[in-house]
Each structure stands twice: as structure tokens, then as C-alpha cells.
Structure 1
Amino acid sequence: MAHGPKSPRWALTQGSFSLALGSSFSALLLLLLLLPPLAAADEYDYYSWQSDNFHSGRFYAKQPQCVDIPADMRLCHNVGYKKMRLPNLLDHESLPEVKQQAGSWVPLLAKRCHPDTQVFLCSLFAPVCLDRPIFPCRTLCEAVRDSCAPVMETYGFPWPEMLTCDKFPIDNDLCIPMQYNEDHATPAPVPKVCPPCDNELRAESIMEHYCASDFVLKMKIKEVKKEKGDRKLIAAQKKKKVLKHGVLRKKDLKKLTLYIKNGANCPCAQLDNLGSNFLIMGRKVDQQLLLMSIHKWDKKSKELKFAIKYMKSQQCPTYHTVFQ
């Protein structure tokens, strides 16, 4: 059975938890000394649990396990601890599902929208391995949401329902608090560059956006305009090379227009000179084509060559979307 918040064992350690969690995320690891970890699968009796602090938590018939965070789980492999609880706190019950869903959020880390983004997401995707689930505090969720939701909206993604901050415990309960605030740390600077223009020309990054995009093109841009706070990219009429057709229709390609949401005034160095070809990746949202990533088509780039070659054989996950 799950231990309720008033059980004797819980009452003895609750104050110690609050002190440990109130300082920094590294202090969370001290919890491993205060509570016994989950046993390995072959040592643990079957039981059910439900979080006392998370009202939408569910009962599991399947036993929780303590497993290594996979090395290829890029979202959390360097989060600061080695083992995670499975099922996790987002109802994912297998490692392949966890890795696939967590991979959708890796590009958000690269945007550096809030320094606690990884701590918040990994507390849910790869929760620290204890015999009781520890959720992020509501203020941690709110801080990450307020900084990162505008970036997500640039790509046409709303803040997801599964991360509604009201679901998480208030800060005077046992929970993972904010690690960075004005009192003891300076947050990493939020980049002013338009998010679709702020991507490294690396094969790995290109492939992440390739899988998350509805369509991918090699094309020229004729003109760039500002329209109602957005930036409007008008494609040249010259022949476009379609690398991923997706949702694009023939009429879309004939008069192709892309938008950077809320991007009228943010810098985008790639658009300073329109003389070259571009690698364009985008999504279709409410009949509008949104730009997700843009790179100048550099023929000498080994990273670009590798990515283009890999696209021909790449099998993307069936439900892989950035910021899912």
C-alpha cells in the first residue's frame, strides 16, 4: 500500500525532506539516504500506489521498478542521478515509451528558456528512484511554464494539459522546488534570437527537427515581411526540393508562405542575406505554415551532408513531436 502523508514513517522524515529540498537540486540526492530505494524487479512485491499530492495520479497494478536512466535518453542522462522510477509520473510504463516521449522535449532544452527546464521535466519523465514519488513544486512548474510557453507557442505548441501547474503540490509540501531564483542565482539569459533561427547546424539537431516537422524543403526565399507581429517568409518561385512532403499540398508549394509566430522584431541572421538556398522545416497549424527551423544550405558542411543522407533512411517515431 502507498504510505499516506500521516503515516508514522512519513511524519518522522517530512521535515528532513523539506530542508533538503529547499536548498538545491543536488540536495535531492540526500533523499536516497532518508528513504529506501525501490528494489529491483525480482525483489519487489506487487503493490499499488497513488500520489497523495497529485490528484490525477492513478493506481498501478504493475510493480514499480528502479532502473538505470538510459544513456540514449538525452533529456535526462546528465540530470544528476543515475536511476529512475518506472512507471514514471506521466503514466509511461516502459523505457521505450519514456525515451520516445522524452525525446520530444530535447529541443526545448536547447532554447534555454529557463534554467530549471531539465530539472522540471526530468522530475516527471525520469523521477528519482525512491519508494514514494516526489513531484515538482507548483512554483517550479509555473516558472518554467511562464518562460518556455512563449517559445513553444512560436512553433504552434500550447503548454500541454498534462503539465497543468495546478496539479502539482504547493511549496510547503514535499516537492522539488525551483533551483534558480533572483536570491541565489542568476538565470541563464534567454536568447533574443527568433527560436526557429537559433538552432545549431548539427546533424543530431537537424534530425530532431526533421522528425518533429510536418514538411522539410530545400528552397530559396524571395521576400521577408512583417505582418501583425509575425514575420512572413515568401518563397521564391524557383523549383523547390521536397525532402519531406508531409501535409504539403500542390497549392501550398505553388505559393509557399511561412510564418515565424511573434517573430516580427526578433533577430534572425539567416534572413539577413536571401541569396542562398535554405533548409526549411515547418509545421502546419490552423491552415498556417509555421517555420520550425531554418539553416543556410552550406554545401561544405559535413553535418548537413550527413543529415541529408540520413533523412533518406530515417524512420522517425510515429508520434514524435517537439514539445509533445
Structure 2
Amino acid sequence: MAQGQKNHSNSRQQRAQLLTNPFSTMALSLSMSFFLLLLFLTSPASTADEYDYYSWQSDNFHNGRFYTKQPQCVDISADLRLCHNVGYKKMRLPNLLDHETMPEVKQQAGSWVPLLAKRCHADTQVFLCSLFAPVCLDRPIYPCRSLCEAVRDSCAPVMETYGFPWPEMLTCDKFPIDNDLCIPMQFAGNQATPAPASKACPPCDNELKADTIMEHYCASDFAIKMKIKEVKKEKGDRKLIAAQKKKKVLKMGVLRKKDLKKLTLYIKNGANCPCAQLDSLGSNFLIMGRKVDQQLLLMSIHKWEKKSKELKFAIKYMKSHQCPTYHTVFQ
């Protein structure tokens, strides 16, 4: 007990020293850590090995939550698809979203992978990975509020296309205003040239790749091979009316048999954006979607190309694949 009181007293003294003496050892460590973080964020030639270090001097109480384990530095595994190529190799656990284990991080981060493919903002990965897989420094560094707001303003409309609101856990007011202790935008001003955002309707802007198909398959309530009879515009949305011909259900989900008889899907806010797949309605389509407020929203559309090896592999894989069981922004 005496030892615990002594440690607690030492911890208070360290915090007091940091607040009263900006040139203390801890302050210098923090300044150096953040300098290296900025170097990583602004230098395209940076290598991950330069930042694989940590020197935490904290207890296991963080962000108002008590953790059973001390913070640790762990490898970012290849199957953490959201962040495995973010530019550094190691991350802090618990992360900044209160995930304590790597399986929990993988499950929750996996739901955001489809958003990266939409290229709604050049800093989407930087923002998300700063929270899901924070770089190993001597204290947590949060994204700047301006970074959050920039990603939110660009990506929230894309998410709304699928019927998802911007999640409360990413409310931008929670993050620090721009200063020297938060992660800024990488692509602001002339620092770099971001990848151009696609003008195509989000459900139409998907590569015919097995991984992409399976991501949307797991994120969708239903999947069907079908033909489209007619496409209309209705109140800013695009309305897809299915042909009465036989449909092949690959995933029934929330659909009922009567839904299949008069199947109508919508691309939310998609009245005027391009959708190349709908330029010609003669072929079969792979349609994936979800039900939101009694309306069936299109998640993904692909022409059913019989010669596509990627499509064949995905369709075969659907029969045995067990999708992750987690709440996701794309599910």
C-alpha cells in the first residue's frame, strides 16, 4: 500500500513538473515525439522503421477509462486492412477509440475499408488510422478538429448515399482545435496533390474485384443476380425497377418473397451522378443493397460478366464465407 502511495505521489510530481517546467525531460520527450510525428506526416520519403519506438510514462488510466493492461506497442498486421499500409509498422493499444485488443480493432476497423475505396477525401485513411491504429509515441496524439471536419464534410455525403449518418464516436467537436499537439491535414494547401475524387455515384464506382465484391456482400442485407427493366429519377434519387424475369438470390437477408416480385431499389441522391453500368440494361447485374426506413438502397452494382475470374471466385466464395459479426458503418 505504501509503495502504491509512493508511486501515485511520484506520478503527481511528474505531472506537476510537466505543467510548471516546459523544459522538463517529459516535455522535451513529448516535443521530440511530436516533431517526429510531423516529420512522418509531411515527408513522403519517410520509412516506417524510423517511428517504431515508444517511451510511455503513463499509468493505465486514459481518456476517462481504466484499462486492465498497460499501453503497449504492437505490430500493425496485414489483415488490419484499413491501416496496414498507412506508413508506419506499429500502433498503440489501447487505441484512441477504447479498443483494447487487436481482434476488436480489426473487427471495428474493417467496417471502414469500403469508404477508403470511395476516395471521398485524400486524408480519410490518415484520420481513421490516427484513431484505430495510433502511432507509438510517448502520449496519445489525436487528429485535429479541422482534419476531422474536412474528412466528415467530404465523406458524410457518400455515407448518406448508403443510409449511414456520420457516427457519434467521430463527432469532430471531441477533437482538439488546431495546435502543435494534434495531427493536421496532410493534403491542405500545396503540401501534396490528393487523388481526384470520383464523380460517379458511389454504388457504381467499384472495381470488379473479388475483395471488393466480398466487402460489399458482407456489408449488404441482400445480394441478387437480376435484370433491370427501367431506371427513373425520383425526388433527387435514382430508381431502379427490376425486370420480372427470374432472379437468383445469393443472399436473402431482410428481403421477403413478396419483395422480389416488385423489386425496386434506389440510389440515394443519385439522380444526376454518372452510373456507367446503367447505360445499357441488356445484361444481368449483381445487385447488393440494404434496407433503410422501408426503402431498399443500392450498395453496389456490377455487370454480370461471365468470363470474369474475379466474379466467379467471389460467387463461389459467398457459399461458404462467414461474414464478420460487428456493427459497421457499411452494414
Q: Give the TM-score normalised by structure 2.
A: 0.87
In the alignment, is the contact (CA less than 8 A) between 2:51 and 2:88 conserved in 1? no
In the alignment, is the contact (CA less than 8 A) between 2:30 and 2:138 conserved in 1? no
Shift of residue 321 of structure 1? 3.2
1:48 aligns with 2:60: yes
Q: Give distance in 2, aligned partners of 1:37 and 1:176.
A: 17
- Aligned-partner SS, 1:6: helix
Aligned ranges for residues 123-162 of structure 1 at < 5 Å?
A: 123-162=130-169
The aligned counterpart of 2:179 is 172
Unaligned runs of 5+ in 2: 1-10
In the alignment, is the contact (CA less than 8 A) between 1:46 and 1:62 conserved in 2? no
Computing the radius of gyration over CA atoms, which structure comes out larger, 1 or 2?
A: 2
In the alignment, is the contact (CA less than 8 A) between 1:127 and 1:133 conserved in 2? yes
Q: Give the TM-score normalised by structure 1.
A: 0.89
1:213 aligns with 2:197: no
Q: Give distance in 2, aligned partners of 1:194 and 1:172.
A: 36
1:25 aligns with 2:41: yes
The aligned counterpart of 1:321 is 328
Q: Give distance in 1, aligned partners of 2:132 and 2:120.
A: 19
In the alignment, is the contact (CA less than 8 A) between 1:38 and 1:65 conserved in 2? no
The aligned counterpart of 1:65 is 72
CA pair 61-222 structure 1, distance change in 2 beyond 3 A: same
Shift of residue 187 of structure 1? 2.7
Shift of residue 194 of structure 1? 0.4
CA pair 170-268 structure 1, distance change in 2 beyond 3 A: same
User: Structure 2: which amino acid aligns with 1:241?
Assistant: K
User: Structure 1: which amino acid aligns with 2:27?
Assistant: A
Q: Give distance in 1, aligned partners of 2:181 and 2:29.
A: 10
In the alignment, is the contact (CA less than 8 A) between 1:17 and 1:31 conserved in 2? no
Aligned counterpart in structure 1 of residue 102 of structure 2, from 95, 114, 124: 95
Q: Give distance in 1, aligned partners of 2:136 and 2:34.
A: 18
Shift of residue 103 of structure 1? 1.1
User: Structure 1: which amino acid aligns with 2:59?
Assistant: Y
- Aligned-partner SS, 1:178: coil
Aligned ranges for residues 205-244 of structure 1 at < 5 Å?
A: 205-244=212-251
Q: Give distance in 2, aligned partners of 1:154 and 1:35.
A: 38
Deviation track 1:25-81 (CA, whole Å, cap 9, x = no partner) reads 156989998996158xxxxx9932324xxxxx5232322111100111111111111
User: Structure 2: which amino acid aligns with 1:144?
Assistant: V
CA pair 38-24 structure 1, distance change in 2 beyond 3 A: closer
1:264 aligns with 2:281: no
Deviation track 1:171-202 (CA, whole Å, cap 9, x = no partner) reads 11411111011333333211100000000000
Count matched residues: 314
Q: Give distance in 1, aligned partners of 2:290 and 2:212.
A: 17
Q: Give distance in 1, aligned partners of 2:223 and 2:210.
A: 14
The aligned counterpart of 1:110 is 117
Q: CA RMSD in A?
A: 2.7
